[in-house]
Chain A
Amino acid sequence: MATTEQVRQQAKEIHHLEKPHPTTKSYVRVALFLSVVTGIEIALSYVDTNKWALLGSLVTLGAVKFYTVVFWFMHLKFDHPTLRKPFGVGIVLALVIYSVVLGNLVYHSTGGSP
């Protein structure tokens, strides 16, 4: 059974896993970065290029924006790492389940040909 001192020590360690939140300047820099990435995305959508290259670039840039907001504005980078788990599970489940469902439906709608 954990003693009061042990639990306090454990809690102290937990608090050490958290980092101080960024400053206003950092938030403004992040917002500028997000604006630039959005600008690149929009510019790319007008470029007449290979469909798959465009798709890959847009999805990568979208993912960069997604994780920047989650880690900086939602403080997941600075808060306790345990908080990443419930959200991470949601994202992974959504990606896996819907990729399988979409793949399956597309496969069958094309008569089994890839």
Chain B
Amino acid sequence: MSDVTLIDIKEEILSENRELAQQLRSDLRRRGVFLVNLMSSPGSGKTSLILRSLEHLRKVYRTAVVEGDVDSAVDAERVAREGFLAVQIKTGGSCHLSAAMVERGLDALPLESLELVFLENIGNLICPAGSDTGAHLSVAVLSVPEGDDKPLKYPLIFRISDAFVVNKTDVRDHFDFDMDTFRARVRSLNPDAPVFEVSCKTGDGIGAWCDWLRERVDRGQ
């Protein structure tokens, strides 16, 4: 039997994705397109938040949506039904959007006539946090029924997000979600990130979130 030898490799597995994401980010910036990555559990209201935000911002920016899903076009159809431009990426089993998938989705859009694109990531709080999409801004969407303990269970997504939106505040009386506790937990992981309380059902809080978003889009970061 031949001897075993050791070959040194030292290659980072995600480095290819990170490089592509950085390239995508600077390409988009050069073309004047701002990309916002929305991450959350399934059912927190990413699509609803996108629709509410588009209603608010459609007069300000030329917008579109890239919808990520494992194997359905339900969300893109819903966004399109409301009269907004949307493309669907099907990941075919993958649990998060990689920069390469995002690039393919963006290729299907008329980027030269767009200024703001929302990217809806796959619904889970683990995998999307580990993969750079090329977006300029990453926002985690939470919701009142999920409970205020999510920062304790999924610390990575709370470290890497730029802002947090807590949706479904209209039902807060029916749940034990404690907003002060949640804010303190977020602050301990990510002191500078703002937390927006919204209800996509009533429209409550959407204005404040969109004002902040506009400021970021106009600054380009």
Q: Do A and B come from one complex?
A: no
Where the two chains meet, the residues of B that have a C-beta atom closer than 8 Å to any C-beta of A are none
